[in-house]
């Protein structure tokens, strides 16, 4: 049996973001994402570009640190801020998402 090589320290000390999306009659599912694109900046970019529709919840977790939490309202605020800094209007599903969750948090 080959020796087991431990992961390099910090290799898995990353925060991962996953999106629960409502697919209507088909139901809800956490969207599959590539390991390299599961970070917050990429998620914000994807939301602004309309990659996600009917977002129900966004969960962040870090297994190395042993935590997870609902970051839906935080990400909604960050999407609004990113759009504002770029002078980019938000529309469609992105508009629905930020209206629902940034208003819920008082933004």
In a domain, 10, yes or no: no
In a domain, 4, yes or no: no
Worst-scoring range by mean pLDDT, 9-13, 18-22, 25-29, 82-86? 9-13
Domain count, the chain: 1
In a domain, 27, yes or no: yes
In a domain, 2, yes or no: no
In a domain, 100, yes or no: yes
Q: What is the pTM of this model?
A: 0.83
Which residues form the domain of 52? 16-104
- Residue 4 has φ and ψ, to the nearest 5°, of -85, 125
Find out whether 39 and 84 touch, Cβ atoms under 8 Å. Answer: no
Spatial strand order of the sheet with 16-22 comes to 28-30, 16-22, 55-62, 67-70
In a domain, 41, yes or no: yes
Is the pLDDT at 9 greater than 70? The verdict is no
Find out whether 70 and 57 touch, Cβ atoms under 8 Å. Answer: yes
Burial letters for 20-45: b for 16+ Cβ neighbours within 10 Å, e otherwise?
bbeeeeeeeeeeebeeeebbbeebbe
Is the pLDDT at 85 greater than 80? The verdict is yes
In a domain, 72, yes or no: yes
């Amino acid at each position: 049996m080959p020796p087991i090589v431990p992961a390099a320290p910090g290799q898995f000390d990353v925060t991962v973001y996953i999106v629960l999306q409502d697919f209507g009659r088909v139901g809800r599912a956490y969207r599959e994402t590539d390991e390299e694109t599961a970070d917050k900046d990429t998620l914000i970019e994807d939301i602004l570009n309309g990659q996600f529709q009917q977002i129900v919840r966004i969960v962040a977790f870090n297994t190395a640190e042993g935590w997870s939490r609902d970051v839906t309202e935080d990400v909604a605020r960050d999407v609004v801020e990113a759009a504002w800094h770029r002078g980019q209007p938000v529309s469609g599903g992105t508009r629905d998402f930020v209206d629902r969750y940034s208003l819920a948090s008082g933004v």
